[in-house]
Structure 1
Amino acid sequence: MPVHDETTVRRDAGTGACGPYEALLFSDSGGLTQFGAFVEILPPGSASSIAHWHSEEDEMVFVLAGTVTLLEGDTETALTPGKAATFKAGVPVGHRLENRSDAPARYLVIGTRAAQDRVTYPGHDRVLHVTRATGERIWTDPAGQPATPLYDD
């Protein structure tokens, strides 16, 4: 049984389309394949992603420190430590988190890892088709025509 902490876990960090972020990749560090679990750290002014929803994968976030604003459809909700938000696969309502505060925020993200998934980005006319076994990621418009990515793949 591998045991990891912040000093041994694999990390991902960068500045993407939604601002800077850091992720502590606990499930990947342990070689897990059926679900993903990581701690994301968002500095002030950053967002978790572009608003999206998954056709096949459930997601959950649990706030550990700081405050983030959940944007889900037309609704905004402040999430503080101890609060969770859940996103059931196939529910066509886009969601994302934003750090509108003046301090970093930390939250745990847990999600299933479906063999194939479609990630829809409402308002951006983009769908990401993911095949986990091959790592294939294909961007299309909602009609299935090739489209440019919203993120640097």
Structure 2
Amino acid sequence: MPKIDLDTVPAPKGSGYPAPFDAPCAMRIRRRLGDAGGLRDFGINLMHLPSGGWSSQRHWHTYEDEFVYVIGGELVLVEDGGETILRAGDCAAFPRTAAMGIT
């Protein structure tokens, strides 16, 4: 398995959201590690967020699971049931069918 050199992975700032929805994500930096490793069925992103920044607008995936693992710092996870603080070492998983009410 080839090692991914993080220094060679593009690290664009911002998002593809249209204005004004892009503002909360304007300072995020995302490295698409899955793409860099040639993965086609599983995406992995290394996201750096400044204080107060968002990783994304609220969303869900119909055909993809999503997993969040916090490497450092602290973040607020916003869900229907409220807000949860995640700190370094914490993780959260979202099966693709959960948001759609499908079992």
- Superposition TM-score, scaled by structure 1 size: 0.55
1:13 aligned partner: 13
More helix by share: 2
Amino acid in the other structure paired with 2:34: S
1:4 equivalent in alignment to 2:11: no
1:89 equivalent in alignment to 2:93: no
2:58 aligned partner: 51
* Residue range with higher mean Cα deviation, 34-43 or 23-32: 23-32
* Residue range with higher mean Cα deviation, 79-88 or 7-16: 7-16
For structure 2, the 5+ residue unaligned runs are none
Detail structure 1 runs of 4+ shifted over 4 Å in the superposition. Answer: none
Amino acid in the other structure paired with 2:4: H
SS in 2 for 1:10: coil
SS in 2 for 1:65: coil
User: Do 1:23 and 1:41's aligned partners in 2 also have CA atoms closer than 8 Å?
Assistant: yes
> Pairwise mapping of residues 1-153 of structure 1 onto structure 2 (< 5 A)?
1-14=1-14, 17=22, 18-19=24-25, 20-92=27-99
For structure 1, the 5+ residue unaligned runs are 94-153
Q: 2: distance between equivalents of 1:48 and 1:39?
A: 10
Q: 1: distance between equivalents of 2:34 and 2:61?
A: 20
User: Do 1:10 and 1:26's aligned partners in 2 also have CA atoms closer than 8 Å?
Assistant: no
The CA deviation string for residues 64-91 of structure 1, in whole angstroms up to 9 with x for no partner, is: 0000000011310000011000001122
Identity fraction in percent:
37
Amino acid in the other structure paired with 1:37: I
Q: How many residues align?
A: 93
SS in 1 for 2:14: strand
SS in 2 for 1:47: coil
More strand by share: 1
* Higher normalized contact order (CA 8 Å, seq sep 6+, divided by chain length): 1
Q: What value does the CA root-mean-square deviation take over the aligned residues? A: 1.8
- Superposition TM-score, scaled by structure 2 size: 0.79
